[in-house]
Every structure is written in structure tokens, then in C-alpha cells.
Amino acid sequence: MKIAIIGAGEMGSALARDLAEAGHPVTIGSRDADRAQAIAGRVGAASGGGYEQAAAASEVVVLTVPWQAVRQIVPGLPLDGKILIDATNPYLDDSFDGRESVWSVREEFPAGESGASVIQALAPGASVVKAFNHIWAVTAQRGFGETRPAVFVCGDDASARTVVMGLAADIGYDPHDAGGLERARWLEALTPLVVALEDPNVALTVEHVPPR
């Protein structure tokens, strides 16, 4: 699958490397096209370019920019008919200094709304799927040995969820269908816990217990 990464930072580079290693043609999108090409070479991605160019060339677009940049960047991307994976977290301050303050900087949304629903409204022609937001980039980059960390996936388009679960499985995760996009609110609430633990060696896993 042709995949674009929008935002070539820590998380974008880690996902790009993983997806490229799994055999997907990945285009890195950066505000600086030269930087995108350099990072593409480093992580084994097929190519690099500007945000718009990367999104236009791909079927699946992965958003890995800071929350503060989302409202400015998303409306300018050609996303109609594409799957938009939202890996962002709606923090007003991305300094991530851990512990209690993580909660105090989270953007508040009305009931049922989330960062992902804001993104869906900014890109009405795309199928937004929330995924990977609660994974540490450093863990994604170095792998997890025998463990397959859980990745929860939610979005209103069931076929898009299936595609994203397939991509998550391709790169070593244990994907779980978390339902419609209204659940993104809870996936976004999971990240402060993961961050507060301050331990990228912790991976969430899910076991199915047989019914009694």
C-alpha cells in the first residue's frame, strides 16, 4: 500500500521505518522537502517530499505532527477518498514532562468529541482512523521481541479500520478493533497514562479470557 507520513519527527520516522521494512512504499512528507528526502534515505522509505506531494501520492496518510499544527496542516492536504491515520495526541503543550501535568495540558472537547473528530471535520472526504497514538516511538523503532503490543484502532469506516489493523499487524502489533470514531476520545485518554509511566519498556497487551 502506498503510504504517506506527514511530519518527519520522532513518531513519523519510526512508523516510516517500520512500514517500509514491512514492504510498503512509504513517502515521507516534511515541511522541508530536502529534509524529507534525507530522512527517507535513512529509514528506507521510497521517497520524500512536501506534505501535499506525499499525501497526493498515497492511498493511506499517517498524521504525525504536533496537535498545535493540526488545524493549520490538515485542510491543505489532498485527502478525499483516502484513509487518514490519526496518530496525534491533543495536547496544548507537547513538552511531555510526564506525571500530573500531562493531564493539565490536554485539550478539552465536548462529550463525544476528540482530537480525531476535529481532524475528521477538517478532512470530511477522508476516512479518519485513530491508531498508534498510545505507542512509544522509541519502542516502535527498536521492536518488541516476542511481545506483540496492542494497538487499538477506531474509526467510522469499518473497511478503513480493517486496512489499518492489517498495517498494524504488518509491523508487529496486535491490532484490536475499538469501534467507531467516538471511541477515539478514550484512546486519546490512554496516552497520558502511558507517558506518565515514563517507561518505554512497558507495552500494553490484551489477552482474551475464555468465558466461564
**Binding segment (CB under 6 A) for ligand NAP, from list 7-15, 74-82, 121-129, 177-185:** 7-15
Q: Smallest gap, in angstroms, from Cβ of residue 211 to ligand NAP?
A: 33
Based on the shown chain and the rule CB under 6 A, indicate whether residue 148 belongs to the binding site for ligand NAP: no
Amino acid at 207: E
Determine the length of the chain.
212
Q: Report whether 164 contacts 170 (CB < 8 A).
A: no
Task: Kindly tell me which residue out of 11, 60, 85, 178 binds ligand NAP, with binding defined by CB under 6 A.
Answer: 11
Which triple of cell numbers denotes residue 34? 530536502
**Is residue 40 at the binding interface for ligand NAP, with CB under 6 A as the rule?**
no
Nearer to ligand NAP, 52 or 177 (CB): 52
Stretch that binds ligand NAP, among 30-38, 122-130, 158-166, 179-187 (CB under 6 A): 30-38
Cβ nearer to ligand NAP, comparing 158 with 199: 199
Contacts of 152 (CB under 8 A, 6+ apart): 130, 131, 134, 175, 176, 178, 183, 187, 190
Q: Does 160 bind ligand NAP (CB under 6 A)?
A: no
Which residue has its beta carbon closest to ligand NAP? 9
Does position 46 bind ligand NAP by CB under 6 A? no
Burial 103-128 (b: 16+ CB within 10 A, else e): eebbeebeeebbbbbbbbebbeebbb
Q: Is 58 in the site for ligand NAP (CB under 6 A)?
A: no
89 binds ligand NAP per the rule CB under 6 A: yes
Ramachandran bin of 11, using left for φ above 0, alpha for ψ from -120 to 50, beta for the remaining angles: alpha
Report in angstroms how near the CB of residue 210 gets to ligand NAP at its nearest.
32
Residue 93 binds ligand NAP, judged by CB under 6 A: no
C-alpha cell at 167: 498495517
136 burial class (0-12, 13-18, 19+ CB within 10 angstroms)? Answer: buried
Could you list the residues that contact ligand NAP (CB under 6 A)? 7-12, 30-32, 35, 64-67, 69, 87-89, 133, 135-137
